[in-house]
Amino acid sequence: MSELTSQVQYNSDEPERLDKYLVTRFPDHSRSQLQRLIGEGLVLVNGSQPSKTGILLEKGDLVEIHFPEPELVDIIAENIPLEILYEDKNLLVINKPAGMVVHPSAGHSKGTLVHAVMGHVPFLEGIGGKMRPGIVHRLDKDTSGLIIIAKNDNSHQWLQRQFKLRDVEKIYLALVDGHPATPTGRIIAPIYRDRAQRKKMVIAPEGKGRPSVTEYHIIRQYAKHALLKVHPLTGRTHQIRVHLASLGIPIAGDKVYGHKKQSIELGRHFLHASELSIRLPGEKKKTTFRAELPDELAEVLDNLK
């Protein structure tokens, strides 16, 4: 990822919120954009990633900010087949295949989920941002499963608010190398971006990083693997993959956080967003959506039996 890096020193005698200060120093960027950069680990304060966007800066603090270099592309709708599980006037629920990037970015100027959705719903452009129209949350490229797309601004705000308040229940299925030490468990470990490899996340030292919590439950054990039901209580980048790897049970097929020698020849990691419970716009009760394992993952389980 190409980046433009800026360093500024806070020189006021009065403490000020980090996100508020950055708005004054970089007026071409909105507060929400800067908060997103902080959340993605692209802002450092005295060399460390802040635990939240609103930490107070003290006089002399050095702030380093990495702006991803924008890629000048126009999003052109593409006729890409989508597995649409639910659709109404406000939103789409899609079963995303592995290998599909969610939104355009450096190196991915076509063939993304956004391009496909715009081919289905042309008026999406602009909802939630020019490069991420309709996108409420994300899945990694090689993670398959449920993703929700807003069709209008009101729905986008309604849905995104639930993600911010952690009022959305997400369940993933993950096949891991090895066996967890306990049938169920809760992993509480902050995560931040690896300064040496900025596309990679790592467990943060105590007092640093963003709080991250993941729960798991063993569904089935095999000779050298275990199938887990995973419930992330927070939504950090690569959270499930990093947390499970930290226990010594990386996700099978994960080329970034897994073993160098893969236990299964799969071409992707075995992680699937299988359930999503959320309140639809105007509704008080949550609706639960489910997506079955794709054939290539179901075949892996059959072979392990």
Any idea which residues carry the catalytic annotation? 140
Closest to 240 measured CA to CA, from 259, 214, 221, 260: 214
- Compute the distance between CA of residue 190 and CA of residue 75 in angstroms, rounded to an integer: 35
Closest to 277 measured CA to CA, from 213, 218, 231, 216: 231
Q: Is there a contact between 214 and 240 (Cβ–Cβ < 8 Å)?
A: yes
- Compute the distance between CA of residue 226 and CA of residue 252 in angstroms, rounded to an integer: 10
- Write out the two tokens for 15: 């403490």
Residue 225, phi-psi category: left (phi > 0), alpha (psi -120 to 50), beta (remainder):
beta
CB proximity list for 238: less than 8 A, separation 6 or greater: 140, 191, 200, 201, 256, 257
- Compute the distance between CA of residue 250 and CA of residue 258 in angstroms, rounded to an integer: 5
By CB atoms closer than 10 A (0-12, 13-18, 19+), residue 91 is buried
DSSP alpha helix (H) spans, the chain: 18-25, 31-39, 113-120, 153-164, 239-246, 295-304
- Write out the two tokens for 29: 């960027």
